[in-house]
């Protein structure tokens, strides 16, 4: 049994979607970050950085923070083909997983902060981060020009990236401007594991759709 400590954020949804895809048994522990529960002493014992998501694997005793590390751990535990076995495919998956963690996630998070939650307070920051988000959408659109999934086959990279794209409305992004991303987004949104994992630890809204 795996305990998943999470909230309704893109990083949290990365791991809940993955757990559904893997079919691993897990229990959801809701950490309401809007009420500061991520600062509670009990949670900090699991995740010293005070950020969700985090996991505790009762079988191995492993406590882990950082969503990318968790994804690699869980996929390896399950022996999943979401981590490609072929060497070149493995490293392509890894570079796009790191692209999400080092680029798309942090930049889009800043767009959420300045553009959605604090509009008008820092016009320079709004423009800077929104322009970078648009550039990253363009990079992803180009990568998907000749393939259905980011690293060839459906992998951890897609699962990591998709929840951030699912907040395109928060980012004031028009997915019709990125047709390859749009097709990929809808393709993944139709997966049962994605539909279930998206709504953990609680339902907030339907998955945004783009016709």
- pLDDT (0 to 100) of residue 41: 96
Q: Give tens-digit pLDDT for 10-69.
A: 999 999 999 999 999 999 999 999 999 999 999 999 999 999 999 999 999 999 999 999
- pLDDT (0 to 100) of residue 65: 98
**Residue 89 CB partners (closer than 8 Å, separation 6+):** 151, 152, 153
* Residue 116 exposure: Cα atoms within 13 Å on the Cβ side: 13
pLDDT band at 184; cut points 50, 70, 90: very high
Query: Which is it for strands 2-6 and 54-57: parallel, antiparallel or unpaired?
Result: antiparallel
State CA 166 to chain mean position distance: 9
Q: What is the DSSP string of 60-93?
A: TTEEEESHHHHHHHHHHHHT-TTS-SSHHHHHHH
Mean pLDDT of 82-104: 97
162 by Cβ neighbours in 10 Å (0-12 / 13-18 / 19+) ranks as buried
**Residue 79 CB partners (closer than 8 Å, separation 6+):** none
**Residue in the block written with tokens 């492993």:** 62
- Prediction pTM value: 0.97
- pLDDT (0 to 100) of residue 161: 99
Mean pLDDT of 182-186: 98
pLDDT band at 84; cut points 50, 70, 90: very high
- pLDDT (0 to 100) of residue 137: 98
CA separation, residue 15 to residues 55, 64, 131, 210 (Å): 9, 12, 28, 24
Tokens standing for residue 97: 């997983």
Percent of the chain with pLDDT over 70: 100
3-class DSSP state for residue 178?
A: coil
Q: CB of 133 within 8 A of CB of 107? A: yes
- pLDDT (0 to 100) of residue 156: 98
Query: Residue 94's closest CA among 104, 84, 103, 80?
Result: 84
Mean pLDDT of 76-96: 97
How far apart (Å, rounded) are the C-alpha atoms in residues 28 and 21? 15
Between residues 143 and 211, the one the model is more confident about: 143
- pLDDT (0 to 100) of residue 204: 96
- pLDDT (0 to 100) of residue 173: 97
3-class DSSP state for residue 122?
A: coil
């Amino acid at each position: 049994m795996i305990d998943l400590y999470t909230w309704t954020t893109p990083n949290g949804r990365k791991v809940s979607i993955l757990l559904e895809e893997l079919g691993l048994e897990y229990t959801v522990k809701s950490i309401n970050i809007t009420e500061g529960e991520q600062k509670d002493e009990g949670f900090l014992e699991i995740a010293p950085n005070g950020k969700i998501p985090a996991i505790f694997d009762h079988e191995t005793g492993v406590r882990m923070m950082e969503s990318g590390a968790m994804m690699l751990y869980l996929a390896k535990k399950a022996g999943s083909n979401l981590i490609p076995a072929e060497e070149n495919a493995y490293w392509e998956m890894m570079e796009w997983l790191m692209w999400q963690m080092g680029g798309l996630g942090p930049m889009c998070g800043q767009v959420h902060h300045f553009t959605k939650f604090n509009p008008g307070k820092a016009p320079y920051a709004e423009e800077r981060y929104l322009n970078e988000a648009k550039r990253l959408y363009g990079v992803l659109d180009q990568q998907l020009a000749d393939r259905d999934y980011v690293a060839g086959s459906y992998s951890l990279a897609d699962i990591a990236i998709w929840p951030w794209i699912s907040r395109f409305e928060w980012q004031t992004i028009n997915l019709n401007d990125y047709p390859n991303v749009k097709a990929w987004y809808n393709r993944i949104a139709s997966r049962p594991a994605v539909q279930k994992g998206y709504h953990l630890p609680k339902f907030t809204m339907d998955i945004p759709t783009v016709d």
